[in-house]
Chains A and B, each alone.
Chain A
Amino acid sequence: MIDLNCVLGCKSILNLHRTAFLCSKGVSPDTVPIISRWAESLDKSSTCVVCGYLMQIEQQLAHKLMWDKVPLLLVLDEPLPRFFPSVFLQAAADGLLAIVSTAVSPDQSLDRLVSARIRNAFMIDNSDDIVVGYLNPNGTIHSQLDGHDNVTILGQDGL
């Protein structure tokens, strides 16, 4: 259950159907258009995408979703940055953006892998279904999704 006190921005979008987007490292260029088409197929009136902002593909997706006015819950695995691109401000003004950080504390820097696992777990636990851009069978996300049956995998090929 998301602690609303920790959510910045438009909290009402959390009442929408929440779809998490996860992606293993090493996504192939062939998979990117598939992810893009998936994003374009979303029903923006009923879906909130839960997405990270660490990998390039996550950042590209987040910007596309904000551009397309799709509600977005951004999950950061580090304290809130001091600066965001202005597109974030517009998305907030449009009531389409919420941000939450899963960083344990502002001063604590965890191992990158540990903080990513914490963030992924938060996204998995707080979403109605999960879409995976690319799933590395030997990666962290694969093990974290074990036992979940609400998962859709978009791309099978890695680099």
Chain B
Amino acid sequence: MSKVSANSVVKIVVAEVSPVIRMGVVAAIKRVAGSSAILFEIASPGDLQTRIKSYQPDVLVINPLFAPGLDVAQLRANPDLDLADACIVALLSTPPSRLALAAYDNWLSIYDSENDIQSLLDALSKAEPAKADSDDDDEQLSAREKEVVRYVVKGLPNKEIADVMNISLFTVLTHRRNISRKLKIHSSIALAIYAISNKIATVDEVK
């Protein structure tokens, strides 16, 4: 991450019940990411929502078994948590099931080496240089940002948007932040109305 996101600090939240695993993951990410990431921990399922609201993470690394019945898609869709722009990574202690991980953007195993973690962070952050906080007063969206808007209102997760547009997840996140800043829009329905009324998407495309 330090290689590529020199102009932004990423908030990473690690949600894991086991203190050994949680602290280990936090320490490993810190070693790899250095000062380009701020790390927070969530130890208790009961604290999950309040802590997420408080931390507003860019990346949530969470054990799929962290809370009984944990539904990441619901978590992401919960308007109170403001996770729509965040990247959610599954923290695994067992071999992954593709089906179970469909709602996640990526995954990290507790057996991953530092190189693996570096690869994950690079995958998240290796970036075409997206303008993080442009001083540009022109609040019009760029062509790329409009493309992101179209995919967002179609309901594509960030990971799929990154794949379709052939850019990194962090670039998608940066585009989404810039879109929110420019349009002063912070809800998906408002973005849908913007997209529809500006002919970026059709009603049928909006999910």
Tell me whether A and B are bound partners. yes
Measured CB to CB, the residues of A under 8 A from B are 5-6, 8-10, 80-84, 86, 88-90, 92-93, 95, 97, 99, 106
Given A88-B193, A89-B196, A97-B197: A8 in contact with B202 (beta carbons within 8 A): no
Closest A-chain residue to B194, C-beta based?
A: A8
Is the CB–CB distance between B193 and A82 below 8 Å? no
Q: Is A97 a contact partner of B187 (Cβ separation < 8 A)? A: no
Shortest Cβ distance from B99 into chain A, in angstroms?
28
State whether the Cβ of B146 lies closer than 8 Å to any Cβ in chain A: no
B:65-82 near A, CB below 8 Å: 79
Most buried by A among B185, B196, B203: B196
| Number of A-B pairs, beta carbon distance below 8 Å | 45
- Within 8 Å of chain A (Cβ to Cβ): is B190? yes
Which 7 residue pairs of A and B lie closest in terms of their CB atoms, listed nearest first?
Answer: A82-B79, A92-B197, A92-B196, A9-B197, A92-B193, A93-B196, A93-B203
Query: Is B203's CB under 8 angstroms from A89's CB?
Result: yes
Contact, CB under 8 Å: A89 / B186: no
Q: Which residue of A lies closest to B139 (CB)?
A: A5
Q: Which residue, B79, B190, B194, B202, has most C-beta atoms of chain A within 10 A?
A: B190
Chain A residues contacting B206 (CB-CB under 8 Å) are: 89
Q: Are B196 and A6 in contact (CB under 8 A)?
A: no
B197 near A93 with CB under 8 A, answer yes
Nearest CB on A from B205, distance (A): 10
How many B residues touch the partner, as a band?
10 to 19
| CB-nearest residue of chain B to A81 | B189
Q: Once the chains bind, are B186 and A97 in contact (CB under 8 Å)?
A: no
Besides A84-B189, A86-B203, A95-B197, 12 more A-B contacts (Cβ < 8 Å) are A5-B184, A8-B190, A80-B187, A82-B187, A82-B188, A82-B189, A83-B189, A88-B193, A89-B203, A90-B203, A97-B197, A99-B190
Q: How far is the CA of A97 from the CA of B189 in the complex (A)?
A: 14
CB neighbors of A among B124-173 (8 A): 139
Shortest beta-carbon distance from B154 to chain A in Å = 13
B192 CB-CB contact with A under 8 Å: yes
In the assembled complex, the CB of B53 is this many whole angstroms from the nearest CB of chain A, namely 11
Cross-chain contact of A9 among B184, B188, B194 (Cβ < 8 A): B194
Q: List 7 A-B contacts (CB under 8 A).
A: A80-B190, A82-B187, A82-B189, A88-B193, A90-B203, A95-B197, A106-B186
Please name all residues of chain B whose beta carbon is closer than 8 Å to the beta carbon of A88 when the two chains form the complex.
Answer: 193
- Picked from A6, A99, A106, the residue with its CB within 8 Å of the CB of B193 is A99
Known A-B contacts A81-B189, A84-B189, A93-B202; the reply to A6 vs B197 at CB < 8 A is no
Which residues of chain B are near A80, meaning CB under 8 Å? 187, 189-190
Q: Which residue of A lies closest to B187 (CB)?
A: A82
A5 to B206, CA, bound (A): 23
Closest to A106 in B: B186
Q: What residues of chain A lie closer than 8 Å to B139, measured between beta carbons?
A: 5
Point out the residues of chain B lying under 8 angstroms from A83, CB to CB. 189
Q: Which residues of B contact A82 (CB under 8 A)?
A: 79, 187-189
Contact of A9 with B193 at beta-carbon distance under 8 Å, contacts A81-B187, A82-B187 already known: yes
